[in-house]
Amino acid sequence: MKATGIVRRIDDLGRVVIPKEIRRTMRIREGDPLEIYTDNDGEVIFKKYSPVGELSHFANQYAEVLSKTSNCPVLISDRDVIVSSAGISRKESVEHRISDELEKILEQRKPYVYDGKNKIIAAEGIDKPVSVAIPILAAGDLAGAVVLLQGENVTIPSETEIKLASAAASFLAKQMEE
């Protein structure tokens, strides 16, 4: 943990403002859930809450099955970082921030399908371009994405790959809603 040098007072309603610079750096958006931790030394720590991260066990299993079924590397992310991967090194993918390009696509809340023209990279350090990215929408809120990466040969994804990724996103969304 590092100090920022910024000090804020708590107002009469118990609120504290997180400075804009920190919100921008940490990608904290209006309405984002924050988890609050305390320790015995009197520290209060705010951490971005990731509902997809809470399902990492399901996400890991689903990524493995989806990768074997589709024969493509698979990533499952929350709104900020890769939570799970299969068919690609976990060390090179998990906990890496998603790319700005992928984040913009997800914010549109629509599926992305590679069209043979513009290649999108999912996250820094991952050289395979995105084939399919399906947003995970839980209770109407964007929670993350299921991403199929290109295999050895860069091709336009099949309808089956799109449906497999959509089913995975729907399954994970349903798990979050329960």
Concatenating the DSSP letter of every residue in 9-46 gives ---TTS--PPPHHHHHHTT--TT--EEEEE-TTS-EEE
Task: Give the model's pLDDT for residue 138.
Answer: 87
Task: Give the model's pLDDT for residue 53.
Answer: 66
Same domain, 65 and 45: no
Q: How far apart are CA 134 and CA 77, in angstroms?
A: 10
pLDDT digits (tens, 9 = 90+) for 16-58: 898 998 888 888 888 878 888 888 888 888 887 777 666 777 7
Domain range for 8: 1-49
Q: How many CA atoms lie within 13 A of 106 on its CB side?
A: 27
User: Structural domain tally of the chain?
Assistant: 2
Among 105, 101, 58, 100, which Cα is nearest to 83's? 58
Q: Could you tell me the CATH number of the domain that includes residue 135? A: 3.30.450.40
Stretch (H or E) spanning 149: strand 141-149
Same domain, 60 and 142: yes
Same domain, 41 and 118: no
Q: pTM for this structure?
A: 0.77
Same domain, 77 and 132: yes
What are residue 84's phi and psi, to 5 degrees?
-150, 155
CA distances from 170 to 79, 112, 145, 173 (A): 16, 15, 10, 5
Same domain, 118 and 103: yes
Same domain, 37 and 63: no
The CA-based angle 58-56-162, given to 5 degrees, is 60
Q: State which of 49, 72, 88 marks the end of a domain.
A: 49
Same domain, 113 and 136: yes
What residues in the chain have per-residue pLDDT under 50? none
Q: State which of 34, 49, 64 marks the end of a domain.
A: 49
What are residue 141's phi and psi, to 5 degrees?
-100, 140
Q: Could you tell me the CATH number of the domain that includes residue 38? A: 2.10.260.10
